[in-house]
Amino acid sequence: MKYRQLGNNLEVSALGLGCMSMSAVYGPTADRQEMVKLIRAAHDRGVTMFDTAESYGPFANEDLLGEALQPIRDQVVIATKFGFDIDLESGERRGGTNSRPAHIRAATEACLKRLRTDRIDLLYQHRVDPNVPIEDVAGAVKDLVAEGKVKHFGLSEAGVQTIRRAHQVHPVTAVQSEYSLFWRGPEAELLPVLEELKIGFVPFSPLGAGFLTGKIDATTQFDPTDFRNHVPRFAPEARQANQALVDVVKAVAARKRATPAQVALAWLLAQKPWIVPIPGTTKLHRLEENLGAADLELSANDLAEIDTEVSKVRVLGDRLPEAALKMTGR
Strands 77-82, 120-125: pairing kind = parallel
Return the domain boundaries, the chain.
Answer: 3-325
Provide CB contacts within 8 A for 47, sequence distance 6+.
Answer: 1, 13, 15, 16, 17, 291
**Percentage of the chain lying above the pLDDT 90 cut:** 99
Alpha-carbon gap, residue 202 to 200, rounded angstroms: 7
Give the mean pLDDT of the chain. 98
For range 73-85, the mean pLDDT = 98
Q: What is the pLDDT of residue 68?
A: 98
Residue 275's pLDDT band (cuts 50, 70, 90): very high
For range 88-115, the mean pLDDT = 97
CA distances for 261 relative to 182, 207, 286, 327, angstroms? 12, 7, 9, 28
Alpha helix positions (H), 120-199: 134-146, 160-169, 190-197
For range 145-154, the mean pLDDT = 98
Exposure b/e, 218-243, CB count within 10 A at least 16 = b: eeeebeeebbbeebebbbeebbebbb
Residue numbers annotated as active site: 56
How is domain 3-325 classified at the architecture level of CATH?
A: Alpha-Beta Barrel (3.20)
Burial of 90 (0-12, 13-18, 19+ CB in 10 A): exposed
- Most distant CA atoms of the chain, gap in Å: 54
pLDDT digits (tens, 9 = 90+) for 289-317: 999 999 999 999 999 999 999 999 999 99
Q: What is the pLDDT of residue 130?
A: 98
pLDDT digits (tens, 9 = 90+) for 212-257: 999 999 999 999 999 999 999 999 999 999 999 999 999 999 999 9
Alpha-carbon gap, residue 225 to 282, rounded angstroms: 16
pLDDT digits (tens, 9 = 90+) for 34-68: 999 999 999 999 999 999 999 999 999 999 999 99
Strands 93-97, 84-86: pairing kind = antiparallel
**Percentage of the chain lying above the pLDDT 70 cut:** 100
Alpha-carbon gap, residue 51 to 201, rounded angstroms: 13
In contact, 45 and 210? CB cutoff 8 Å: no
Phi and psi for 326 in degrees, rounded to 5? -65, -15
| pLDDT exceeds 90 at position 24 | no
| pLDDT exceeds 90 at position 197 | yes
